[in-house]
Chains A and B, each alone.
Chain A
């Protein structure tokens, strides 16, 4: 087994306001090896993006604060680094693609300008050399006529092309780790297919590890080796794609998988849905965060927080009824209605 490129241990992130504290991320653990793709899935507000921004140390502080945990990247704890040291890693060794290509490019600078800025921040190159490299990058991500496109502004690009430009910026310094926060959510399916294909190709050629944040399980099946499932700031399940697809352990994952619409769902069938909505993170959670929506919940779930344990080799879950010795039996039709 190769060394972990990244490992996060017990990460807590909280946001304070005058009246309350929101624990957006609560004890997240994850590991990632070289060339691996990890998917983080969960609903909005489950802490997916906060985990990623904490990793990049882009959490606005105040009000945000990383209150606990370790982020080991190549063996060094990112949380102990100075601002300057972090700046040399951010964008260079860890790069990020954001969800909305419309708002993450600066409208008053040309696309070329923004790629050159990223390159010159981390490499000692003249403007001319950097421009040549930027043109090369645009070509790699499949933008036609890169020599002409480099002097255009973001508004002259379509959504798919903007996302390609974002990928070009992110990959311009050959990062070891690429964080993609819902990279295709704002795009059409046809363009989504193009972008995912591109990311897979580039991963092959550059040996990049990818963290893919998404709520679309289809994208996960397409791209990822491993998954962590997040709910209300905690990891409820993690494992390989095969393990989670074939043998999911946490009732939330069951609900999530069942509520996907597939070919097999007939018109007259009712769609399985998870009742209710996620809990309010301002209120401290005593027991399991999923308890109010879980059809399998019992007394203990309200009072005691389940531990995140290795149920099968490499397959973790946080549920009172899933452990090495006993299993929770999955019943049909629990999520209907």
Chain B
């Protein structure tokens, strides 16, 4: 088995809801991530899928400690990130970089591309002005832009180009892991393919590990080696991409996959249409969180939360059916 680079154990993040009564300690909280454990192996792409509000992005932020967990731990190369001081976390973050969803919002409009891409080097006090400039030009070439772009401002670029700049910035410090939070959702289909190709070729070239968060199940199928399906702050199923797509086990995974729009006008797939909406993470349903929308609900589902069990090698499901 490949080497584990990130190991999350029973990770939890509860956001307290402020109480209308001042000074009273709040009793309720949004359980955004509620007991999630997984491993990420070196050089692979782990996909995290789920509907909006299921905790995908919170999980991403927990991994590189942009927010600290309520409980649980994240180990990076064997060291627990939560136990580190602020300085050590900063240096650990050199190896775990992020690419965000909205390429517009994640680039400061008042900075040139050069200062944006060089910023990580400045923050970590690496190199001289000259060497930083050289690195910026090198990175621009790597992501398919040209060095003359360095003196321009973000508004002069299209969405796809902006996302390339974001990727260049994430590469600046030679990271081991890049967390991509919906990196292509804001892009048009024809441009989306360009950025996905870029991410794939960079992974090979620099031996990167990706954590790829997306709600687009087709993109995830193409990008990822293993997939974790999340529902209301919990992982309901993990497995390799073939297992998840060819033989999904959890009823939620099945419904999610059947909701993918048709691939051609003749596609006559049976569709499972889920009733209702995702319940509130403040008061999740008792037992299995999915029982209110599940077509296979049994009595035990209403009372006992299922555990994430390994049913075949590498494929874990949390459902009473298995």
Contact = CB atoms under 8 A, between A and B. Distances in A.
Contacts, number: 110
A311 interface: no
A265 B189 CA distance: 15
Contacts of B222: 261, 265, 267, 271
Interface residues of A, number: 42
Nearest to A189: B259
A213 to B, nearest CB: 14
Contact of A192 (B158, B161, B261): B261
Contacts of B274: 190, 194
A72 interface: no
Nearest to A277: B158
Contacts of B264: 221, 245
A256 interface: yes
B267 interface: yes
The winner among B190, B241, B245 for most chain A CB atoms within 10 A is B190
Interface in B253-308: 255-256, 258-265, 267, 271, 273-274, 276-278
A221 B262 contact: yes
A10 interface: no
B197 interface: yes
A260 B189 contact: yes
Contacts of B196: 261, 271
B259 A193 contact: yes
A189 B215 contact: yes
B5 interface: no
Interface stretch (A132-140, A154-162, A315-323): A154-162
Contacts of B207: none
Interface residues of B, number: 42
B189 A256 contact: yes
A216 B190 contact: no
Contacts of A158: 277-278
Given A190-B255, A265-B222, A273 B217 contact: no
Interface string B179-196: 000000000111111101
A275 B161 CA distance: 12
Interface in A167-202: 188-194, 197
A124 interface: no
Contacts of B239: none
A257 B197 CA distance: 16
A273 B193 contact: yes
B203 to A, nearest CB: 11
Given A221-B265, A241-B265, A271-B196, A259 B190 contact: yes
A159 B159 CA distance: 25
A221 B261 contact: yes
A272 B194 CA distance: 8
Contacts of A190: 51, 255-256, 259, 273-274
The winner among B196, B262, B264 for most chain A CB atoms within 10 A is B264
Given A271-B193, A271-B196, A218 B263 contact: yes
Contacts of A267: 222, 225, 241
A272 B189 CA distance: 11
15 contacts: A43-B191, A44-B188, A144-B276, A159-B52, A189-B261, A190-B255, A190-B256, A216-B189, A221-B265, A221-B267, A259-B190, A261-B193, A267-B225, A271-B200, A274-B194
CB-CB nearest 9 A-B residue pairs: A218-B261, A273-B193, A274-B190, A43-B188, A259-B193, A221-B262, A193-B259, A188-B51, A261-B218
Given A43-B189, A188-B215, A271-B196, 14 more contacts: A43-B191, A189-B260, A216-B189, A218-B260, A221-B263, A222-B261, A241-B265, A242-B265, A261-B219, A262-B263, A263-B221, A271-B197, A274-B193, A278-B158
Interface of B: 51-52, 158-161, 188-194, 196-197, 200, 215, 217-219, 221-222, 225, 241, 245, 255-256, 258-265, 267, 271, 273-274, 276-278
Interface of A: 43-44, 144, 158-161, 188-194, 197, 215-219, 221-222, 241-242, 245, 255-256, 259-263, 265, 267, 270-275, 277-278
